[in-house]
Every structure is written in C-alpha cells, then in structure tokens.
Homo-oligomer: A and B are copies of this chain.
Amino acid sequence: MNNELFSAWLNLTKYHDRLLKAMDCTLQEQFQLGIKEFYLMYYLAQSEQKKMKLSDLVPKVGLSHSALSRLVTRLEQYRGGSLVERQTYANDKRSIDVFLMKKGEHYIHEMEMVINDHLQSRLSEKDIQNIKRLVE
C-alpha cells in the first residue's frame, strides 16, 4: 500500500473534520444552529430574490431531499421565530420556494461574520493559499 498517499488523505480528513467540528460548535453555541442550517440560509441570502426552490438547494447544501425538507421545517419552527418560510411556487404547484425571512437575513449576516472570524483565526496564510490551490 502506498502509505504516503493514504496518509495524506487521512491527514486531510482529520484537518477538515477538526475545522468543521469547531465551526459547528461555535454556531451551535451562539445561534443554536448548525452548519447545514447555515449553508441553506447562506445560499438563500446569495440568491436574487432571497428564495430558491427546494430541489435547487439539494446539490448546494449536500443533503437528500428528505433531509432538506426537514431542515426547512426546523428553520420555520426556530424558537425565536421563523427564519425561513415555505411559499408555493405558482408556476408549478408541486414545487415550493424556500424564502429567507427578515429575521433569517439578520441571523445569516451575524453568522457570516462569526464564521469569517473563526476561519481567520484558525487558518494561516499558508493554509489559505494551499486550500485555494487545492480546489481551483
């Protein structure tokens, strides 16, 4: 077995997991929301009209249809008030639009700042360069 290659993979996994868990923890503590919740809202915030069809979110967020459906439900029922809203999509009543509500917009901006700080403080300039190179 080519141990070099496998070791490199193992290290990448550990590196990524460590960063991810720390970030998830931070978000959980400060907002009672996880990374997946963040991703969903992030893509909505990026979108033109602050809404996207559920099925378009699937490949973005990286969850199954069912998981995403329930994720939306959780965000609708967020303790402090809905962050997101289901809207029926007029052109095709099978679809739904997931709409980012005002409260959600506010949250996502705060979360972005927290995440940015989090990354800034944990990644060296060298790391950042390497990450960029890796995925370009």
Within 8 A of B (CB), among A87-131: 112-113, 115-116, 119-120, 123, 127-128, 130-131
Residue of B nearest to A109 (CB): B1
The contact of A116 among B1, B20, B116, B134, by CB within 8 Å, is B1
How many copies of this chain?
2
Residues of A in contact with B, size category: 20 to 34
Query: B16 near A13 (CB under 8 angstroms)?
Result: yes
Query: A2 near B127 (CB under 8 angstroms)?
Result: no
- List residues of chain B with CB within 8 A of the CB of A132: 4, 8
A12: interface (CB < 8 Å) = yes
Query: A116 near B13 (CB under 8 angstroms)?
Result: no
Main secondary structure of the interface of A (DSSP, over half): helix
Query: B134 near A127 (CB under 8 angstroms)?
Result: yes
The distance in angstroms between the C-alpha atoms of A24 and B114, with both chains bound, is 32
The contact of A12 among B14, B62, B131, by CB within 8 Å, is B131
Please, what's the 1-or-0 string for A15-53, where 1 marks a CB less than 8 Å from any CB in chain B?
111011000000000000000000000000000000000
Residues of A at the B interface (CB closer than 8 Å) are: 1-2, 4-6, 8-9, 11-17, 19-20, 62, 112-113, 115-116, 119-120, 123, 127-128, 130-135
